[in-house]
A and B are shown apart, each in its own frame.
Chain A
Amino acid sequence: MASFKKTQIRSLPKIGQKVTADTLYWRKLNFPVTVKEFGPIDYIDVMPIEPYFIAVSSAAKVQIYNPITHQVHRHFTRFKEAAYGASIRSDGKLVIAGCDEGHVKLFDIGSKSLLRIFKGHKGPVHRCKFTTDNVHVVSFSDDKSVALWDLPSETEIIKFSEHSDYVRAGCVSSISSDLFLSGSFDHTVKLYDARSPTGSTISVDHGSPVESVLMYPSNSIFVSVGGTELRVWDMLAGGRLLARVSQHHKTITCLHLASDGKRLVTGGLDRHAKIYDVQSYQVVHTLDFPSPVLSLGITPDDFTVVAGMANGLISMQHRQTQAEARALNPKQSLKVQKKSQTAYRFRLNADFRSVNRTFNPATDVEVATKTDTNFVSRYDMFLRKFQYSKALDTVLTPYIRKKKPAITVGVMHELIRRNGLKSALAGRDDSSLSSILTFLARNINDPSHANIIIQVANTLLEIYESSSLTPQSEKLFLQLQEHVNREVEYVKHLMEIEGMLHILLASTTTQARRSSTYVVQGSSVKPMLPSAAAAANATMIFNVG
């Protein structure tokens, strides 16, 4: 009852992108460091253990980058033509890459030496993977086949030739060393089990050439991308389609899991990378790149996001560390420091209090307790004291006026309520008048605040209409008038367009009616009546007319 209620600041939700936990999380990526390669970046693989080296395959070489220094740690150039799909083993010691000759080459990262060459494919090998047991390799080739190789003996174990087009996508299960997926340009995704050499266990139709496939760590769901679509399949139900998501407007080229398997990232030729929630498949954030994205890599801790692009650019973005955030915003860090000091003081007090705890008040003595005073903003302080001009002054400082206009409008609203607007606006000098006028001119066309701003502007005009103004303020008043005139023009145009739309809508509804009657005449099919929504729409329009 006795507490002062804070002024209500009405902040209407902004139209456009909502600020969510995810947008905040992904917005913390720093400005990218870019490296230019000679050819398009075909594939990026991230070492699953620290220091999270990044294997980049482009043109005729495979390079291993250090994500922190952005320097090339190792590079492997023993390819005659293009190298594809370099992938690092889970212990981070070996790297494997396919190439145009149809070979799969195995290198040691430490010594840079070529250890094995798996020969047998008749076409280029675009993707190759280590299985989970680390002693087998799966390769996916343009000769429409998928092969499983034994690493120590360098021999082929099984070969599946079920696809009818290039196999350009593949992945292995993270649980079983026998399961692997392949995606091909013949629109199918096939699941193989090395224990059943007769053929694929599951085959699903994606509907467009498959660019990339991915199996969830739980091994019950797999995802395929190709064309502009992402499809989610249930593996346990024998390849039932769970979801179809189409968020890109050009071909999706790559697929990656992030945030510990909670988010899915796709990159596409439309130069975007979209981040999805894996439960609802809603896009939670979008990353933009300067060129079509061909490949993506994200370190397991989400610290670095690497994207390879069609023009040979590799972009590496790091998450902002706390030290960096502090350096960027020194004011905030000061505040944190201050807070810690007060905490220390309070701790001292608390200690002191515990020492004094032996004090026992007599029963007839009433001990007055100190109440906590919660934070009151400056404008509320002045409003409480009925100092309306000062309250208005505090919310007209450049920072609040420009960054948080809702606060200024909220205080103006409160002043109107209290009938104190006139006294708050009256008797102002040139500089404070100009700050009010610029604020009004900036915000008078904002529909969420317009009614209050217009009220303030009217009051201002009423007060200053008869007083002599300096040329500067006069200019600002004229500027305000210009803003108003322009807004009136806009609204006029909008109403014209609205009228045109109404005509169009009305004509479509009447056409729909006519066609329905035609059906009645032409055949004995049950007559189709306009739907409830359409009928409602029609009555609405008649009412408007």
Chain B
Amino acid sequence: MVKMANKKTRGPDKTQANTSDIVVKKLDDATDIVRQPPVFTNDSKYICIASGRQIGIYSVESADKVHSLEEHTFDVIGLAIKDDNILLSCDASGETIEWNINNGTTLKKAPLVVAGIKEFHSFHYPGNGKVLVATPSTYTTNMSSLWIVDSHTRPRKLFADIKSTPHSIAFGCNQGNGSLVVVALQDHSVVVKDITNGVDKKHMTDQRKFTCVALHSEKLIMATGDISGRILIWHDFVHKSRPVKTVYHWHTLPVNSVCFSSEGEYLYSGGSEKVMVKWRLGMSRKQFLPRMGSSIKYIVNAPDNICVATSHSDNAIRFIDSTNKINRAIIGLVKHDPIRGFADTEPIKESVMPTGLVFDPRSHGIFFNAQAGFLQLFDPQKNSLIFNMDVANRNVLTDERNLVIGNAEVLRVAVSPTGEWLATLEVWSNMSAGYHDMNLKFWRYDAVQANYELNTDVTMPHQDRVTALCFQPGLLGTEMPCLVSIGRDLKFKIWRLVDDTDIYRQKESWSCDVAGDFRKLTPSALSFSEDGSLMAIAFQDTVTLWDPTSINLNTTLSHTLVQEPIE
């Protein structure tokens, strides 16, 4: 008991460390496929995706992995196609590797030598042996300097103090004569350098911060997105100090990515609205692809102009065909966006992965949070996602500019000892509206359909937040499934499967059998003995033992020294 108290005193720090451990481990597992923008090969048949230290080459046709390239010892910071068959990659230590795309072999390894710098932020390859690399800025943190590295001349610093994200650097505008223009974003300005003609320009607008930039591959056209959701198209920005600008404003949230189509007719843009907008340049027409599932991080256009790939914050890359439809997707382990709008008193675990990891005895997989309102089942042995289940079945709502709008989030999951029943608790709370909503759902596994079927949906199972769910284990729990829930409304409730069959149909549903409380104390933890014959509920500093069938209070255990609530 004393041990427990000790553990509790350093509680918050400990939990935080634990959860960040978990998250880091997942990333190390090389499944974060959306940290860098993907790159299409020249024939548009393959797409190269950097994930951690690995690079995966996937077929665009089938979205299957063709090759896995593992040579880098640091995280990959940039990919580029050097020639028809050659992929160039660079990691954070500055090592560049050339790969053969067709068979996945290493062709050449070479370190980047830039004024003795050992750390690099991003890597771009405009062609002709020239390489653009961003390195940490000397004076300001979180900013970069951009260098151009050529095989003939010494590395040259182009810009200092530019933003370090991959979309704040762009190159292009060969104007039919092979010239190269490089632009980069600072907070409130765009810096421009025409390498071939040696022209420098700096453009500013107003107080809106820029978020992303893209250059037309041939014409002197630049597109920038800012935090107000406005997209500016700059014409002839190299020569004029006050270039003509066109405003495209549809987004309400910051624009995350802009991308010109490879023939330069269209502009794609995306952000946290989860909508990809396709603008036709020079016209007011635009097309939308709404409800893409998650925020768009990068948009990449294939060289053949048929396919567009979008990287999303839920760790997925989706392919959009020429009819503006998603037809394939490469999905990694789905990442759960931390829940916003919780009170500050909640532990961090509650917002990062509220369900924790729940073992499923049927498939030997692990249940945990996916996107908002989703639950995924992951098989750790095969390292594959078994399925991603829509628990809330609601439209995912996006924020407004000055307003955080919450989504239904799966907070608790419990699996019955046989794995036949799955209980999920989804909570949707809106602090500003002062209203919250809770659903306890019971799902039954259907072996024929191989999916879970909703059996019972209980609105507001407790008056306040449910803190734990637990199925009764052992033989008793297998024969007569029984779920116990505790909540902040000081109650514990026992739910049982009730036969609801009449002459018209056969039906079973769950209903609340017993609701009880103990001295008006808040229940904080819940557990069963292994055979399911004894139930323990901790009420603040007291542990109570109950007989789950008769709901008789057997014993209460408490210690004079323990004052904190038991977890």
Cβ of A26 to closest chain B Cβ, rounded Å: 14
Residues A410-446 near B (CB distance < 8 A): 413, 416-419, 421
A416 x B514 contact (CB < 8 A): no
A543: B residues at CB distance < 8 A: 516-518
A4: B residues at CB distance < 8 A: 291, 395
A5-B393 CB under 8 A given contacts A368-B323, A417-B428: yes
A421: B residues at CB distance < 8 A: 433
A532-B405 CB under 8 A given contacts A8-B394, A284-B503, A416-B433: no
Looking at the complex, which of B137-145, B356-364, B464-472, B548-556 is the stretch in contact with chain A?
A: B548-556
Tell me if A164 counts as interface (CB < 8 A to partner B).
no
Tell me if B432 counts as interface (CB < 8 A to partner A).
yes
B435: A residues at CB distance < 8 A: 416, 451, 455
Tell me if A17 counts as interface (CB < 8 A to partner B).
no
When each residue 146-171 of chain A gets 1 if its CB lies under 8 Å from chain B and 0 otherwise, what string results?
00000000000000000000000000
- Chain A, interface size category, equals 20 to 34
Residues B503-562 near A (CB distance < 8 A): 503-504, 514, 516-518, 549-553
A282: B residues at CB distance < 8 A: 502-503
| From B293, B321, B430, contact of A419 by CB (8 A) | B430
When each residue 403-422 of chain B gets 1 if its CB lies under 8 Å from chain A and 0 otherwise, what string results?
10100000000000000000
Closest residue of chain A to B515, judged by CB? A540
Closest residue of chain A to B404, judged by CB? A419
B292: A residues at CB distance < 8 A: 1-2
A20: B residues at CB distance < 8 A: 502, 504
Closest residue of chain B to A531, judged by CB? B550
A2 x B289 contact (CB < 8 A): yes
Measured between alpha carbons, how far is A47 from B459 in the docked complex, in Å? 54
B interface SS class:
loop
CB-CB nearest 5 A-B residue pairs: A532-B550, A277-B503, A368-B323, A5-B395, A536-B551
Cβ of B334 to closest chain A Cβ, rounded Å: 13
Cβ of A233 to closest chain B Cβ, rounded Å: 21
Tell me if A134 counts as interface (CB < 8 A to partner B).
no
Measured between alpha carbons, how far is A1 from B428 in the docked complex, in Å? 21
Tell me if B380 counts as interface (CB < 8 A to partner A).
no
A1-B433 CB under 8 A given contacts A418-B397, A540-B516: no
When each residue 1-38 of chain A gets 1 if its CB lies under 8 Å from chain B and 0 otherwise, what string results?
11111001010000000001110000000000000000
B430 x A416 contact (CB < 8 A): yes
Cβ of A537 to closest chain B Cβ, rounded Å: 10
When each residue 271-288 of chain A gets 1 if its CB lies under 8 Å from chain B and 0 otherwise, what string results?
000000101101010000
Tell me if B322 counts as interface (CB < 8 A to partner A).
yes
A536-B323 CB under 8 A given contacts A4-B395, A419-B400, A455-B435: no
Tell me if A366 counts as interface (CB < 8 A to partner B).
yes
Measured between alpha carbons, how far is A284 from B504 in the docked complex, in Å? 10
Measured between alpha carbons, how far is A2 from B327 in the docked complex, in Å? 11
B459 x A539 contact (CB < 8 A): no
| From B322, B326, B393, contact of A366 by CB (8 A) | B322
A536 x B550 contact (CB < 8 A): yes
Measured between alpha carbons, how far is A2 from B550 in the docked complex, in Å? 49
B291 x A1 contact (CB < 8 A): yes
B516: A residues at CB distance < 8 A: 539-540, 543
Tell me if A242 counts as interface (CB < 8 A to partner B).
no
Tell me if A535 counts as interface (CB < 8 A to partner B).
yes
B504 x A1 contact (CB < 8 A): no
Q: A2-B290, A413-B437, A419-B433 are in contact. List 15 more A-B contacts (CB 8 A).
A: A1-B326, A2-B325, A5-B394, A10-B459, A282-B503, A366-B322, A416-B430, A416-B435, A417-B405, A451-B460, A455-B433, A536-B550, A536-B551, A539-B516, A543-B517
Cβ of A353 to closest chain B Cβ, rounded Å: 20
A535: B residues at CB distance < 8 A: 550, 552
B405 x A418 contact (CB < 8 A): yes
| From A5, A21, A416, A455, contact of B504 by CB (8 A) | A21
Residues B366-416 near A (CB distance < 8 A): 393-395, 397, 400, 403, 405
A279 x B503 contact (CB < 8 A): yes
Cβ of A48 to closest chain B Cβ, rounded Å: 27
Measured between alpha carbons, how far is A455 from B400 in the docked complex, in Å? 21
A8 x B397 contact (CB < 8 A): no
Closest residue of chain B to A544, judged by CB? B517
Residues A155-194 near B (CB distance < 8 A): none
A2: B residues at CB distance < 8 A: 289-292, 325-326
Residues of B within 8 A of A (CB): 289-293, 321-323, 325-326, 393-395, 397, 400, 403, 405, 428, 430, 432-433, 435, 437, 459-460, 502-504, 514, 516-518, 549-553
Residues A272-306 near B (CB distance < 8 A): 277, 279-280, 282, 284
B553: A residues at CB distance < 8 A: 539
Measured between alpha carbons, how far is A5 from B392 in the docked complex, in Å? 11
| Number of interchain pairs (Cβ within 8 Å) | 73
B430 x A3 contact (CB < 8 A): no
A277: B residues at CB distance < 8 A: 503
Measured between alpha carbons, how far is A3 from B326 in the docked complex, in Å? 11
Measured between alpha carbons, how far is A435 from B550 in the docked complex, in Å? 51
Chosen A-B contacts, 13 in total, with CB atoms closer than 8 Å, are: A1-B293, A2-B289, A2-B291, A3-B291, A4-B291, A8-B393, A8-B394, A417-B394, A419-B405, A532-B552, A535-B552, A536-B552, A543-B518
B503: A residues at CB distance < 8 A: 277, 279-280, 282, 284
Measured between alpha carbons, how far is A20 from B504 in the docked complex, in Å? 8
Closest residue of chain B to A281, judged by CB? B503
Measured between alpha carbons, how far is A205 from B550 in the docked complex, in Å? 41
Closest residue of chain B to A455, judged by CB? B435
Measured between alpha carbons, how far is A535 from B393 in the docked complex, in Å? 42
Cβ of A115 to closest chain B Cβ, rounded Å: 45
B433: A residues at CB distance < 8 A: 416, 419, 421, 455
When each residue 511-545 of chain A gets 1 if its CB lies under 8 Å from chain B and 0 otherwise, what string results?
00000000000000000000010011001100100
Closest residue of chain B to A2, judged by CB? B291
A539 x B394 contact (CB < 8 A): no
Closest residue of chain A to B432, judged by CB? A419
| From B393, B403, B514, contact of A536 by CB (8 A) | B514
Cβ of A427 to closest chain B Cβ, rounded Å: 18
B326 x A539 contact (CB < 8 A): no
Measured between alpha carbons, how far is A118 from B285 in the docked complex, in Å? 98
Measured between alpha carbons, how far is A532 from B460 in the docked complex, in Å? 29
B403 x A419 contact (CB < 8 A): yes
Closest residue of chain A to B552, judged by CB? A535
A416: B residues at CB distance < 8 A: 430, 433, 435
A417-B397 CB under 8 A given contacts A1-B291, A2-B291, A536-B552: yes
Measured between alpha carbons, how far is A284 from B503 in the docked complex, in Å? 9
B549: A residues at CB distance < 8 A: 532
Cβ of B60 to closest chain A Cβ, rounded Å: 14
B326: A residues at CB distance < 8 A: 1-2
A418: B residues at CB distance < 8 A: 397, 405
Cβ of B339 to closest chain A Cβ, rounded Å: 15
Closest residue of chain B to A543, judged by CB? B517
Measured between alpha carbons, how far is A173 from B460 in the docked complex, in Å? 57
B504: A residues at CB distance < 8 A: 20-22
Cβ of A306 to closest chain B Cβ, rounded Å: 26
B517: A residues at CB distance < 8 A: 543
Count chain A CB atoms within 10 A of each CB in B290, B291, B432, B518 and give the residue with the most: B291
When each residue 106-120 of chain A gets 1 if its CB lies under 8 Å from chain B and 0 otherwise, what string results?
000000000000000
Measured between alpha carbons, how far is A397 from B553 in the docked complex, in Å? 54
Measured between alpha carbons, how far is A83 from B292 in the docked complex, in Å? 81
Measured between alpha carbons, how far is A84 from B289 in the docked complex, in Å? 80
Measured between alpha carbons, how far is A511 from B330 in the docked complex, in Å? 70
Measured between alpha carbons, how far is A413 from B435 in the docked complex, in Å? 10
B290: A residues at CB distance < 8 A: 2
A532: B residues at CB distance < 8 A: 549-550, 552
Measured between alpha carbons, how far is A418 from B404 in the docked complex, in Å? 10
B552: A residues at CB distance < 8 A: 532, 535-536, 539
B551 x A417 contact (CB < 8 A): no
Cβ of A471 to closest chain B Cβ, rounded Å: 31
